Amino acid sequence: AVGMTCAKLGEAEVLVAHGIDDVLIANQVVGEAKLKRLVAVARRAKLKVAVDHIDQVLAISAAADAANVEVGLLIEVDIGMGRCGVMPGEPALALAKQIRTSPAVRFAGLQAFEGHLVNVLDREERTRQSVAAMSLAIETRRLLESSDIPVGCISGCSSATYDATGVLTGVDEVQAGTYATMDRQYHRLVPEFEIALSVLVQVISRPAAARAVLDIGVKGAGCEFGVPGIKGFPDVEVPYFLSEEHVVINRCPDWRIGQPLQLVPTHACTTCNLHRELIVHEDGHVVDVWPIEASGRLT
């Protein structure tokens, strides 16, 4: 790896504080207060940030110039997700030209994320659609390079498309993250990566013979992509509705009150953001405790 990718300025601050010296914020950073923090990070590390509008470029340029630092800029290209990003082709070229004439910023490449396709269950179809989408970014790269604008990289892809778009000529960086811990949703998509993440829960009530209540709800596990599962109990169905602090299991095994269970979430990213520690265990023994210092860094 050449560096770390994060989504928020606050996460970048944590990474740099812990010695990571090459950081990409794969998001747009705006506002005077945030830009003061941004240039402070740029004093301590090689920093890149995504942009998709000249107003962002000019604001970052002014802040960086005043602080006597340089910030790398990746132009985000919309390859079909319909979120942030300029359109491929000429709009990206025009913005790149403007970046190259702005002080204290450096055009560092393109960012393209096929996030609208990562949950396509059929792997061949996911590959076909993802390659077609990423080809728009690759064609944009060729346009810029034919205009004598060097493109340092195309950064994008995901844990679900690493072997589809991440291997294409012209794509340089894979922003995969979930593969490190996995979750139920991504395991359906890329089963070659094993699930390491679970949330320790307990049975707190047995109000009926076939019903158990667990001490976790939406405040403790990300469930944006569906309901979680219970490790070791593949036949136990977790209902779609989770309240804030409880999960009610119907037709459950003969669990006792106080029994510990491991709940496997469907979304590792938001689950980790809800907690402050990762308990590392092997063969039933705790071997380490890792603080999640970037959790809750929403700005």
Residue with structure tokens 């679970």?
A: 198
CB 201 within 8 A of CB 263: yes
Q: How confident is the model at residue 240 (pLDDT cuts 50, 70, 90)?
A: confident
The pLDDT of residue 160 is above 80 = yes
pLDDT tens across 197-234, in order?
999 999 999 999 999 999 999 999 998 999 999 999 99
Query: How does DSSP classify residue 42?
Result: H
Rounded mean pLDDT, 159-177:
97
Centroid of chain to Cα 158: 8
Rounded mean pLDDT, 84-113:
99
pLDDT in the model for residue 239? 87
> Distance between CA 299 and CA 287 in Å, rounded?
32
pLDDT tens across 64-89, in order?
999 999 999 999 999 999 999 999 99
pLDDT in the model for residue 10? 98
* Strands laid side by side in the 105-112 sheet: 4-6, 22-25, 46-51, 71-76, 105-112, 154-156, 173-174
Q: Which residues contact 125 (CB under 8 A, 6 or more apart)?
A: none
For helices 32-42 and 9-17, give the axis angle rounded to 10 degrees.
30
- Quick one: what percent of the chain has pLDDT higher than 70? 100
CA distances from 118 to 18, 63, 82, 231, 257 (A): 31, 36, 14, 24, 39
pLDDT in the model for residue 2? 84
As given in the structure block, the two tokens for residue 241 are 């509705």
Query: What would you report as the CA-atom Rg of the chain, rounded to the nearest whole angstrom?
Result: 22
Q: How confident is the model at residue 284 (pLDDT cuts 50, 70, 90)?
A: confident
| Structural domains in the chain, sorted by start | 4-176 (3.20.20.10), 199-291 (2.40.37.20)
The pLDDT of residue 241 is above 80 = no
The pLDDT of residue 107 is above 90 = yes
As given in the structure block, the two tokens for residue 112 are 């393209």
> Distance between CA 42 and CA 222 in Å, rounded?
32
- Burial of residue 292 (number of CB atoms within 10 Å: 0-12, 13-18, 19+): middle
> Distance between CA 239 and CA 244 in Å, rounded?
14
Q: How confident is the model at residue 179 (pLDDT cuts 50, 70, 90)?
A: very high
The pLDDT of residue 1 is above 80 = no
pLDDT in the model for residue 222? 92
As given in the structure block, the two tokens for residue 243 are 């309240």
Element (H, E) at 126: helix 123-146
pTM for this model (two decimals): 0.95
CB 1 within 8 A of CB 289: no
pLDDT tens across 14-48, in order?
999 999 999 999 999 999 999 999 999 999 999 99
Residue-averaged pLDDT of the chain:
97
Q: What are the two backbone dihedrals, phi and then psi, of residue 292, each rounded to the nearest 5 degrees?
A: -100, 80
> What single letter denotes the amino acid at residue 70?
E
For helices 123-146 and 90-100, give the axis angle rounded to 10 degrees.
50
